Amino acid sequence: MVTRVGILTGGGDAPGLNAVIRAFVKFATREYGWEVVGVEDAFNGLMESPRRLQILTPVTCRGLLHRGGTVLGTTNRGDPFAWQERDGSISDRSQELADAVRDEGLAGLVCIGGDGSQRIALRLMQEMDIPVIGVPKTIDNDLSATDCTFGFQSAVDIATDALDRLHTTAESHERVLFLEVMGRDTGHIALTAGIAGGADIILIPEIPWDPARLADKIRRRRSSGRPFSVVVVAEGALPISANGLSDTERKARLKAAGGAGAIAMAELEGKVDHEMRLCVLGHLQRGGSPVPFDRLLATRFGACAVELVAQGRWGEMVALQSGSVDGVPLEEAAITRFVDLSGNLMRTARAVDVEFGG
């Protein structure tokens, strides 16, 4: 009897999802003869009636290597343990998922997704006895267990390209231009793109920033013949005045102000006499074809997932560590990696005179 393995994508879009799927399918079918069952829209495809599943083959995966998005669809709604019914009530539907997995004869589920999806996957394994393998996906690259995640470099490239564009306009018009990039909890995209794009100021969630220091920096630049500045703002970066706020209060403040970029611009209003403008990159960072770096990493993750399944290493998650891709305990998916404030990269940023405001 042919082994059947399920695969699904959960959480936000990230460039490289399709490349993981393609590599998994190519390797699993040709080398092991498994049947790969794609589950649509994260776990939902297994929980709805009728089920929404597609048999994936090397033929259906043609052209997926460089295609953005995910052919399986994705959603960050639909936790089987806390399923939202049509009437708004929440109920535990994990048993139905477990039944469906057995009913379909799936040896296990390969879950490509963020920390939310991996937490669900872990519970499915521990509580419902569903064998799972995790493939981490976070465009923010903020996962402790892996040196890098796919999608991150694509997002950095888009943000850097935007910085290049804003630079010419900032310089021509002698303005201060703000670019808000992704990063609710961590500043990896902002820091990396900021250095690569030659930003003058980088604001990250890890460093509460002091408006006075930013204004200083902008004025210093003007007096040294650079009457313009470019500021990168991670979407979770808040000024020192937010110190002590709870997580909920921080979110509320961000929402009320229209985002971290808007807050930064408002805080500088009156402190510098440049015209200021804000660009919010938003979803542009998530879509489109993955850069070659991410295509390679995603392919490696997909191939490794097959090896983990073949070796029966259920409960593990694919990760890149010191140049090699291998499995680590799925529990590690929950550990966030923050920007190391005394690390190598921060030192580099300060070396080229980036101001962090704190």
d(Cα 154, Cα 82) in Å, to the nearest integer? 33
Site for its own copies in 193-212 (CB under 8 A): 193, 195-198
Strands in 324-329's sheet, in edge-to-edge order, are: 53-56, 35-39, 4-9, 106-113, 132-136, 316-321, 324-329
- DSSP label at residue 82: G
Site for its own copies in 211-230 (CB under 8 A): 225
d(Cα 263, Cα 169) in Å, to the nearest integer? 22
Contacts of 306 (CB under 8 A, 6+ apart): 23, 24, 27, 28, 31, 32
Site for its own copies in 28-47 (CB under 8 A): 30-31
Decide: 236 and 205 in contact? Cβ < 8 Å.
yes
Q: What is the nearest approach in angstroms of its own copies to the Cβ of residue 245? A: 25
For its own copies, the binding residue among 161, 185, 216, 332 (CB under 8 A) is: 161
Query: What is the radius of gyration, based on Cα positions, of the chain?
Result: 22
Please report, for residues 139, 218, 245, 264, 354, the alpha-carbon distance to residue 201 in angstroms, rounded to integers and kept in the order given.
22, 9, 24, 11, 5
For its own copies, the binding residue among 34, 37, 39, 67 (CB under 8 A) is: 67
For its own copies, the binding residue among 10, 45, 68, 315 (CB under 8 A) is: 68
Q: What is the nearest approach in angstroms of its own copies to the Cβ of residue 243? A: 29
Q: What is the nearest approach in angstroms of its own copies to the Cβ of residue 167? A: 7
Q: Closer to its own copies at the Cβ: 87 or 247?
A: 87
- Classify 13 as helix, strand or coil: coil
For its own copies, the binding residue among 21, 46, 65, 330 (CB under 8 A) is: 65
Catalytic residues: 140
Q: What is the nearest approach in angstroms of its own copies to the Cβ of residue 302? A: 8
Residue range at the interface with its own copies (CB under 8 A); choices 113-121, 137-145, 151-159, 248-256: 151-159
Site for its own copies in 286-305 (CB under 8 A): 286-289, 291-293, 295-296, 299-300, 303-304
Does 55 interact with its own copies (rule: CB under 8 A)? no
Q: What is the nearest approach in angstroms of its own copies to the Cβ of residue 169? A: 4
- DSSP label at residue 34: P
Site for its own copies in 165-194 (CB under 8 A): 165-169, 171-174, 177, 192-193
Site for its own copies in 314-353 (CB under 8 A): 322-325, 343-345, 347-348, 351-353
Residues paired with residue 355 on neighbouring β-strands, in sequence order: 201
Site for its own copies in 73-132 (CB under 8 A): 73-75
For its own copies, the binding residue among 45, 69, 134, 187 (CB under 8 A) is: 69
Does 57 interact with its own copies (rule: CB under 8 A)? no
Does 17 interact with its own copies (rule: CB under 8 A)? yes
Decide: 332 and 316 in contact? Cβ < 8 Å.
no
For its own copies, the binding residue among 98, 215, 240, 284 (CB under 8 A) is: 284
Q: How many residues bind its own copies (CB under 8 A)?
A: 80
d(Cα 191, Cα 183) in Å, to the nearest integer? 10
d(Cα 272, Cα 244) in Å, to the nearest integer? 27
**Burial track 92-117 (b if 16+ CB lie within 10 A, e otherwise):** ebbebbbebbeeeebebbbbbbbbbb
Q: What is the nearest approach in angstroms of its own copies to the Cβ of residue 175? A: 9
